[in-house]
Amino acid sequence: MKFIVSSAQLLKQIQTISGVLNSSNTLPILDNFLFEISANTLSISASDLETTMKTTIKNAEADEDGSIAIPAKLLLDTLKTFSDQPLTFLIDKNTNGIEISSENGKFKLAGQNGDDFPKTPTMESASRTNMPAEVLASAINKTLFATGNDELRPIMSGVFCELSGEGCTFVATDAHKLVKYKRSDIITNETASFILPKKPLTLLKNSLINNSDVFIEYNETNAFFVFDEIELICRLIDGKYPNYEAVIPKENPNILKINRLEFYNTIRRVAIFASKSTHQIRLKIAGSDLQISSEDLDFSNEGFERLSCNYDGEDIEIGFNSRYLLEMINNLSSNEINLEMSTPNRAGIIIPQDGVSKNEEVLMLVMPVMLNQ
């Protein structure tokens, strides 16, 4: 079996899917890319059993159809060294030997039988919807950072997705912070919810192109995404997502309105002097005066800054983990934000005041920390 393909095009396509590869696999064949040729179309797949990603090159020249598993790292490292040129792959179907011919050289490597590569799951009794790539990318960017890493609570390590006739909602939380991203312009006939794992979402985030539509299929066990020349299928996280609405305080009469970047930079400076174990900062708000302070008693470090602000509510003194606050503020693009609070022991809510479309809602929640008086 022989096929010819552009080195630059091949490198671009396999770099897109190479994020699926694990450094250590239980099945040795998962260290390979699966190459499948059919009617001069080359499909390349990578899998870790939980997630499979496939890309397509339509203008490959091939003398026959077939498949071969090619060592991924060896192929990636080789392609990175070539200038753009046609490469000829010659496959010995009896030995699975691979010979790659370039303009000036020849390289031989051992492949594996493509039939041994794990089969991609089929989507049975699946529901379908479409979503603009920029909407999905925005939902992933706004929520992915808030997912947890606790292996004992796998449901918290993914992003919860709810689809209904009223819109779609993406939620992520690690029990310290929570993000809820809602779109009213993406509606489905059926109501459904599922938990998408972190790895495929990261892969999607890095591959989505804004001018395309994403076709999505989902059932009880898997979700399937198609856009441009890319297909991604992933196993969903099994389990019931916590009732996130229950932890969002509904009455938050104390509202701080402030410039996002000014607030961010001040917290960043003051946090340098905070305890390295708690990262705790203190917000003291009275009238239009906001004081942000931190201290590290072990090293006698202290940080303090005063800002003028627009505040409506009772005087309040509240503590937060500066890392969580910075992460959330950094993942917003608005000029102004509201920090809404009720009492020092209840969660603070961050809501952007501009930079969001009329169909979009963003709510970020951060749990307070107990202050040492």
Residues 359 and 341: their CA atoms lie apart, in Å, by 25
Residues 210 and 233: their CA atoms lie apart, in Å, by 20
Q: How confident is the model at residue 368 (pLDDT cuts 50, 70, 90)?
A: very high
Please report, for the domain that includes residue 266, its CATH number: 3.10.150.10
Say if residue 230 is in the same domain as residue 158: yes
Last residue of a domain, one of 206, 227, 245: 245
- 144 in a structural domain: yes
Say if residue 52 is in the same domain as residue 11: yes
- 95 in a structural domain: yes
Range of the domain at 19: 2-116
pTM score, two decimals? 0.92
Q: Does residue 338 contact residue 257 with C-beta atoms inside 8 Å?
A: yes
For the stretch 302-320, pLDDT in tens is 999 999 999 999 999 999 9
For the stretch 64-97, pLDDT in tens is 899 999 999 999 999 999 999 999 999 999 999 9
Last residue of a domain, one of 194, 213, 245: 245
In the block, residue with structure tokens 């529901």: 127
- 211 in a structural domain: yes
Contacts of 187 (CB under 8 A, 6+ apart): 164, 165, 166, 167, 168
Residue type, 250: K
The pLDDT value given to residue 242 = 92
DSSP sequence for 233-266: EEEPPPSPPP-GGGGS-S---EEEEEEHHHHHHH
Q: Does residue 177 contact residue 247 with C-beta atoms inside 8 Å?
A: no
| Helix, strand, or coil (residue 162) | strand
Say if residue 106 is in the same domain as residue 141: no
Burial of residue 313, with CB atoms counted within 10 A of its CB: 0-12 exposed, 13-18 middle, 19 or more buried: middle
Mean pLDDT of 5-24: 94
For the stretch 203-219, pLDDT in tens is 999 999 877 899 999 99
- 266 in a structural domain: yes
Q: How confident is the model at residue 373 (pLDDT cuts 50, 70, 90)?
A: low
The domain tally of the chain equals 3
pLDDT at 158 over 60: yes
Last residue of a domain, one of 67, 93, 116: 116
| Helix, strand, or coil (residue 269) | helix
In the block, residue with structure tokens 């749990």: 367
